[in-house]
Chains A and B, each alone.
Chain A
């Protein structure tokens, strides 16, 4: 545990910075709402990073698990159930079950086929939610209220919600880091690099990957339940395939192989979207080239940036000294 903390100075600094934002005076609903959205997407992106960076599984249907978590909240809301002790476990279990069932099929394949099958499953869920007329179909569903805990409206307050999202983002990162360093994670990482070696040792990668997908789905479901609460609204847009692509972008921009990169990527994407959309109506045109530049010039992603800068600095100092 202490070893983990020592080796993870950068992610801890990031989490600390997020904790300090309200303390430093940024407390308006708009800014904190933006940050909450980024942290929630960060949770989903971190769980995707577990799959992409840890297991080599680039799912293009991860937003479906996120959306199922959100739709679980909406469905229970429709039934008049808003108790968090029911809502959150239900959202997590529903998303985990989805990931397990789709994993059973998609993990039989690999590479491009895996991407296509996860995409296809995601689209199925998208069209299913679009036709859920009880939940507003395409128009979506506005929550009657946020999830409660034993009748207490904990999630209504901006600050409690900020720190809840932050706490869960931190817990997700810590949990996934520990998974990747465990025996289980070692098998995942080995099977990503050289599946034949793993099989020759008597381990078949399939069940390990399936468990990883299920865990990632559960975490995305948690993020979905938070997202429903943050927006107080759920619509099929949350699980459209571009949303899955966004999550993948966050992982790659943040740096595959650095779990905390996913949270960085989510922050960067949400904030960039906010800034750019104010500058120019057609901001999405700028977005693509920016991403391409980031991928080309930031090999380790945003998470690798500090090390890259430090290395450049040392090189410059060396040259000066000579």
Chain B
């Protein structure tokens, strides 16, 4: 099957610091592809280049076979790339429901509508509520997003991403800072999403990564040192040496 997302020789430097060094990888439709690597390896920077937040110095980003390297963040989002942020990025003054309804609004028809109250539009609220239910946040729909707990904000980010009905989800550490219960729920949710969405998952929680991923790529100092199934990565000597502690593999 043709890959949904393909990176070809992506490179990016901040001054003298090479943060992405010739990264090539492919994400197939419906698969969860995890990118792991130590802090500072360049995972977030890689996500930025895929989403269009940052322009690579060299290389190409292909989405559904189309070269999108020159497109900016909004243009790529319109093509079906949805992303969550490592640092929570929600509208703090909006209710949780309005946050998600904005995502529905962004993908459905025009936002140049001036007179009807957006908050009263069931056509936006119903899918938004469904997305909130799906991430387990239905009971908090009316809460102002800024007042949600950290874990709830992570769930909200995921609901926003789902509501924009993407074909590829870019998730940057969706489990970071979530408590054990929230983590369990989010992992179950991500597992339920597999097949419906392709997901590029950056995550530090190794248990979650090995439980969820179809494929894993390992990024160290901006370079992919290995890419394969979870079993292959588990057995990979270089990966064990460079990154994975023995205990995490046990």
Contacts and interface: CB of A to CB of B under 8 A. Distances in A.
The interface centre, meaning the residue of A181, A199, A200, A202 with most chain B CB atoms within 10 A of its CB, is A200
Nearest to B103: A201
Contact of A202 (B92, B118, B119, B164): B164
B74 A194 contact: no
Contacts of B74: 199-204
Interface stretch (B13-21, B105-113, B217-225, B227-235): B105-113
Contact of A197 (B90, B110, B112): B90
Contacts of B72: 199, 204
A193 B51 CA distance: 21
A286 interface: no
A211 B110 CA distance: 14
Nearest to B87: A196
Interface bracket on A: 20 to 34
B120 to A, nearest CB: 7
Contact of B111 (A197, A200, A203): A203
Contacts of B82: 200
Task: Please report whether the interface of chain A is mostly helix, strand, loop or mixed according to DSSP.
Answer: helix
A6 interface: no
Contact of A182 (B94, B102, B117): B117
Given A182-B117, A202-B78, A190 B102 contact: yes
A187 B115 CA distance: 13
Contacts of B91: 189-190, 193-194, 197
Contacts of A3: 117, 120
Nearest to A179: B114
A186 B77 contact: no
B113 A199 contact: no
The residue among A178, A197, A202 with the most chain B CB atoms within 10 A of its own CB is A202
A186 B118 contact: yes
A161 interface: no
Interface in A189-244: 189-190, 193-194, 196-204, 208, 211
B73 interface: yes
Contacts of B115: 178, 182
B70 interface: no
Of A183, A184, A186, chain B has the most CB atoms within 10 Å of the CB of: A183
Contacts of B129: none
A105 B115 CA distance: 27
A185 interface: yes
A193 B93 contact: yes
B116 A183 contact: yes
B89 interface: yes
Closest CB pairs A-B (n = 5): A202-B77, A201-B106, A202-B78, A204-B74, A183-B113
Interface of B: 51, 53, 72-75, 77-78, 82-83, 85, 89-94, 98, 102-103, 105-107, 110-121, 160, 164
